Structure 1
Amino acid sequence: MPRDQRALTYRVRQLPPDINKASLVHFLLRVLATDDVVPTIEVFSLARSLTSPDAANSKDATIAIYPLPPLLENGKQWSFPAEHGNSQYRIVVDLHFLDFTVLNEVHDDDHVLNCIAISGLASHPFGSWQCRSNEHNFMWLRDGLPKAIPGIRAITYGYDTHLNDSTSFKSIPDIALELVNRLTAVGLGWLSSKPTVFIAHSMGGIILKEALVVLAPTCGEEPSILGKLEAILFFGVPNGGMETDQLISMVNGNPTEELISKLSPASDYLKTLDSYFSNLQYTRKFPVISCYETKTTQTVMQSADGKWSRSGPRKVMVKKESAIQNCSRAPLGEVRPIDQDHSAMVKFAPGDIHYTVVLDCLRKITGQATSLGSATSDPKTAGNESFEHGNRYKDERGRPNTKQPRDYSTAEILHSLWMDVFDHRLDDISPRFQSTFEWMFSDESLDFAPWLLDGTGAYWIEGKPGAGKSTLMKFAFQDSRTRELLENWDQPGSFVKAGFFFHHRGSKAQKSFEGMLRSLLHQILRDVPSLCQEIPKACLPATEKESFDWSLTNLRHAFFSILEQKHTQLKLCLFIDALDELDGHLELISAFMKNLIQHKPGSAVRCKVFFSTRPRQIIQTHFEQYTHFRIQDKTEKDVRTYTEGRLAECLERFSVTESLHAALEEAAYLVESILAKADGVFLWVKLAMQDINLALRQSNDPTVRNLEVLLERVPRELDEFYHSIVERIPQDFRWEAYLVLEVILRAEGEIGLKDIYSIVRCSPCKTAQECHERLKHPADAKAVSNWLETLKDRCGGLLELNVKNDHIQLMHETVRAFLSQPGLRQLFFRQSIVSRPQNGYTELAKLMLTRALYPYIDPLQIQRSYYHFSPKCMEYCFMAEKTTLTCHQAWNNYLVSQILECLSPWSPNSSYTCGENLNHRQKLRLSIQIQKNLYWSASVKR
């Protein structure tokens, strides 16, 4: 190829993970060469793909190829079978560069920062960053950045927004949600992921801003994508609009016109988005660097033959005041001019002065990320450190604790460990249906009964969500045969069976490592009280005036002291369900359990563990050598039994036919249809039965045949099923359903049935006085009962109400995971930004503050939560601001002055003036203390 002509750059995907550049050339020649054409292939980059952590490893490459082989002459994407080593692959070659493309390889030990570049409207994801010169194929993100700043992994993100003849009606929020889903899918918000800097050009910046605003409500807890955000570089981003006249002419009449209209200077959408994004930056404190163009750009024009080209008049596409994001003027931000037109401002050549400036900015950011990374502990190291419990106990400042606690009775210690939520999860798990799961004891191939009788180490169950793991664990834990076999365990000593069922939808005690240790310790000491004397004195209060401090350190110290004691013979079998629902790193609990099952020299305790989990690589790595099986491989008959039984109950309830036997015969096809779609997932069957129940209840002439059409519309995947459930919630109930689900999702701990009713009643209120007016008269018990009866249906059956324990929760962990995904508001309301800035945190804060200010509304509630009310309330207030990106000025003017009334019992020596007399300066000081950043900012501007 002549060197004065630049070759097209192709991307090659799904390459073998062990291939290198030299072998890649031969690999591609075997695929692309023909008898007539043997092309020259130049490999510019080869790097591990950015894929889902659960996906198979592969590599991406960027190449130039000339002359062009016949196989690549037509189209933009091609797929070819290929062989490498002894394995078969299906490689993909494309020109479009959609989705993520990793441009350089970085060793894990050297990896410091991800740099993701997002191109503008109708721009090529790769070519828009490539130097215009024909002398070389220099693309600064690929060829310059990794060499200039070692440790950076450069990535492009591509989306399709071509203009001419487009039939797509995707909006900016649609494109942004795609970006959010991809960022989430590849694990860029995981604890182990590196910090990320985003580079965005033109409309790519608007998409990025929308995506980050969408992420705000779902990033209340760290780690998260927002928590990993290090900085943003904007190039010519039309924050206040851009020149769109020629573009509108180009797309006149096609669906893309609406998207372009959102980019005009008159766009209300851009103003609203800018306000939310500025608040996000203010609460998150990440640097934003804005670069603006200083040359006019050739616009597009249609020629006589109908073709479009850049032959129109030169114009300023994005004016300086529009390109400068407001927060770039803040102390953390920077503003930089680029002496190029709108397109060329990101097409740097080697040695370009503007390229040097960008590198300087990135070097500064990289230095910050390196410092952050060195200060962050590795989960594996943290896990190992957590088991160094034998050292002398020290106080919180690291000094030896010399206190000599008094003796405590067994009852006092057990009472201090007990929490009433420990039993709630076990009660909530559905019991097995009829005789399902009997195979756990009868199937000799599983060796479960022999393991209980004389096995050691670990035994575990793996299964996909909704496959019945928790129900099986509950059955095995409670069945009399389990106790009988364990009591005959061929080991000396007292037998103890203890269990913990992780519950990610529950309170902290139900999903934390501390909660598990506390519950297991309570069960062991309850069954063998003499072991209380083994708890180190340093873990107990020194005087009666002090309360028990069951911190993670003390719990671990007490737990391992019992395991390592040499006086009381003990055989211990632990049942731990849903390991994957731990609110923490799996490396920690995996190391903990391996430590448990390893017998300590001289110890009088023998311990083994039976647990369940979803498929997780960390668990597989740690426990692959121990007996385990996949539950869905064993439940085919059980799912059939469950389906036939539930369907029979349903048909009988609604008298579908005169004869139940006839109805079941008529429903045989229906059963097969359900089983095929359920694919071993009990939860899918349960959801389908809810739909069938609802359809029969609403039908005047119910027949089995009518249900066949219904099932054909039901999606196979749980996420799609939940999506369809939300879409079917009537518009009249959408706001109420959204609010209830949001509150349950965000609540720290369990929510009472009366609480959820009060929250819905107060949702329109703007102040505590208005809430008080709504709540000062007790609600009619019958009205509450009637409302609760309809609530489950109004929320699409995604809730479970437990009247016995007075709490409401999401029906399954998969529902929590679904609702936690970005874009929940868009799903409910079809808008990117909802006019009412309310979510679960805002409503929980309102309820708690109202009850604190007017305790006579529910004195029992205040008394019950007196100790932890203040910090929990302030956390809700803080998270309300952080996740809605709204100051809530009207509410906070009253809130900040009144919150001191709530705090006074905890801060009797407070120097603040309480109530309405709180002055402006005191409000500012208090708003800083409770991290009300946006309120503080708004107050300063007054």
Structure 2
Amino acid sequence: MPKKHAMERHHDKFLKTVFRLRGLPYSVKTLDDVASLTSASLGDIPAHNVRVFSLASNLGFGDNSLSKVATLMLLTILSLVHDYKSNAEWNIPIQSPQPGHYLVLDTHFEGMTTMNDVDQLSHKYDDKTFMWIRDALPKHIHGIRAVIYGYETRLTGNQSIERIKDLASKLIALLTAYKWASRSSKPVIFLGHSLGGLVLRDALRQLADSSSEEYRALLNIIRGALFFGVPKLGIEQASLRAIVQGNPNETLIEDIGRGSNYLRRLNESFSHNLANEYFKQFWAYETLESPTTVRNPDDHINRNGSLAILVSRESATLRLIESNSSVTFPIKATHSDMVKFTRKSPDYHIVVSKISSIVNKGLHHRESYANHQAAELRTLQGVPSESNEDNITAQLELFRRLSGITMAEETKFLSVTFDMIQDTTRGIQMVQEERGSLMYMQRLEPILVSMKQFAEVSEAAEVVFGLANSMAYVWATSSHPDIFNCILDAYQEIGEQIPQLRAYQGRLATNQHLKHILVLIYSDLMWFHREVLQQLKQRAEQARHHKTRSICESPGAWLLADSRFKNWSTPEFCSDPFLWLNGIPGAGKTILASVVVDHLQLIPGAAVAYFYCKYGDESRASFIGIARAVLAQLLSQRPHLTSYFFEKATTSGRVLLDSTTTAREMIKAVLSSCENTYIVIDGVDECKRNDRDEIVDVFRRAIQDLPIEVPGIARCLFVSQDDDNARRNFCDLSTIKIIDESEDDLKDFAKKRHLALEAKFGPLQSKDCYVSKILVARAQGMFIFADLFAKYLEAQLSKAALLAELDPNKLPVTLDHVYERIVERMFEARDDSAVASVRKILGWITCARRPLKWVEVQGAVCVDLDNQIIDHDKMLSDSPKGLFASLIEIKEDNTVELVHETRGSNYLRKHVIDFREVHYSLAMVSIGYLTLPQLDMAGQKADEDVHLNLVKGTYSFHDYASACWAMHLQEGISELKVGGELTQLLETLETFIELHWSPTHKPLQDLKRV
């Protein structure tokens, strides 16, 4: 990289100079040590005026390998450097056991300079002295070591005859001298700016052309490079010739001129010899003009000439911007400033993303976790009194939260034992044998043996004391035999790496610090299982997505062929990054959104994020909910974003992204650093107006603000109804309206449902009962109509009952008629008491503030306020489907929700349930539940009482009741009149407040105000 040479005359310029200090004793450990040693050696500057920025081990060999190097600035003028016109390097004697030992202070930075050790020092800098390669890059890409190569670049008065190939040869000589080609060397990524990029390219050419084993070994460790403003096709020479005029280095300027034979040969050799899959390169170009340099009549150099782009985008990218723009990117800066970033510069994050993409995939996540574990180990060692039980509990909670396991899955995991895992393994092997696809299950033996010892030793050391079944998570692997082979090798490797702990059981039982090793092993195991579960979750999410789009044989073919869609989705060209797909309610918009997602995911190199909004669910109908989902999906597809996400998480101090300001900033930064990105947001009309406006504003602004030089870097599809609010948000966008185009999809869907009915009831081919034709004719383009009516027909008990429902005189005409028929069937053959109970529970499901789990519904049903108990005999014996027919569907996480919730909820609120009454009912059951004696934790006699209540399910409704009672109370008291309901509410609230009101607060004087 270019060096800094002569200091300016004025002191303010001199005080901004960065110095390099070499020869520091290896015993120097901290930045303060450097400042103190420098102050003592110079004698005329106090330590607090020596500002040290980096300290790292020297890359030299021999005696120098035992020294360190630092970068620093001096806040006062030194007598030693007053004569800076003739010196750029000074020797400073220091007291040392070795006579004649010197510190070397310089400003030229020639040779190799290490900017950091891998274990980065914890130090903060302000933006005025911020050097991203030194101060930020090692933190954002963990495990990286930044090294600077400096060489002579001064043009004025330079008597050197060195050419680019000479500078490149010197770089190679230094790399080989410092043993960079040894087997233990780490992969290398180069950053080259301007002339430095040409030096790097020539060095790579020399390595590739050589038959030397050392050169080939050196070339093999180079993984890629980023070139910033490198004039690969040459640069305008007029301003440079004005500087070098007659100097020996004029030949170097000739080499980098436009039409240079040297550059032509270099480009040809570089493209032929370095075209391999291991070497990846990116090309950055400047977009701001720089002042040119001219020689005045008085022979002085004027560096404030006319403005110009010094290196054109074609030259900087070798015209790849025209043929392969994915490896090029713009930087909004002048030629000189394009490698100088502030902390919050979006260009910096783009550069980090490019570097990260060169680094081996998967490295970042694991190393970040390893760093976290190392930090945790240091914390544990510093606080030996911390409870091992607390640490294990924390790991379990972290596992539960981040893996996203459901209650059903957790219950399944907790029941797993060592014998069961062996039986399961044998069962999987038998199934594989029957299929003729054995996978050598013996690979599991190391992990099983090691973990059995781990469990026994941990229990003997009382590390997991009191945590029943905590080891069950270790035995829980996967309930998907078809993908089990993918993790067998990982299990084998883990098992072989875990030490055989039984030999250390005595020491582990008595040494508190050694017990922490068990905690760390357990943490690593939790991390691995969490990763496996998250991958399985993604497969399940994808399965749900494909289930949505597979409602018919080949849905959405007409949309994919539409010219407006093609113009929006084609990777090579995009004149408008936005598209609005709209249609009437129930027209199959969500199905089409799923089709679009599938289509986009087939585009090579595309990153696709999608979201299905849902009315009434805050996590799925708010900007922050959509932002979390989109960012998480893009992170999983673009691993280079890990460092940026890690930084935002650590600086915010929060585990969950809950700040809309931060979310806005992250979306903008991520979209600017990810190429070929597609976002699909379905059901925007499901969100409230404020949320809808924010969602549209954020994504539109983030994409519109992207550089116009790279059209189509990110695109967004909005899917919604065509209503007044939508027109206000999307009227200026390219639009596709669903009218009659989906008729073929609807016919295909109806045909599949017809076949399903025939499979249950027998042939249905007569003119009056050809279901597929009836569904298409009555649906009038509404998939929701066809779906609901088909489910209603399928729920009939006999073919005779089905044929009766198909009587032309009884066929429903509107969607409300379908709902009416379903509700009538749901209530028929039930007495008034049963109808009231079903209606009440249906109201709870419809008006709940979040989707209720069936176990929570059962918990609420069992609340007996009159007798102040949980009466488990009141538990419902029918399933949700048995109670609510085709109105309700059960999700994989055990939640119960309305089918086609928005339309279903609207119908039920109009014709079946009283909105206020339902909220009053939920408020009363929640508040009353929280006043029950079993919920008074202070009154529990012993832990056995709590354990018994847990087993019985007494606390199944606690999570929802404690979180949502106040919201239902607000909705339910709006029209209460003096009398029974109000009196009952006041009595219940009095008990509730007495039980739960904090003693530090004053008692409520007038409950009637509530």
TM-score by length of 1: 0.35
Could you say which structure has the larger radius of gyration? 2
**Relative to total residues, which structure has the larger helix share, 1 or 2?**
2
- Structure number with the bigger relative contact order (C-alpha 8 A, sep ≥ 6) is 1
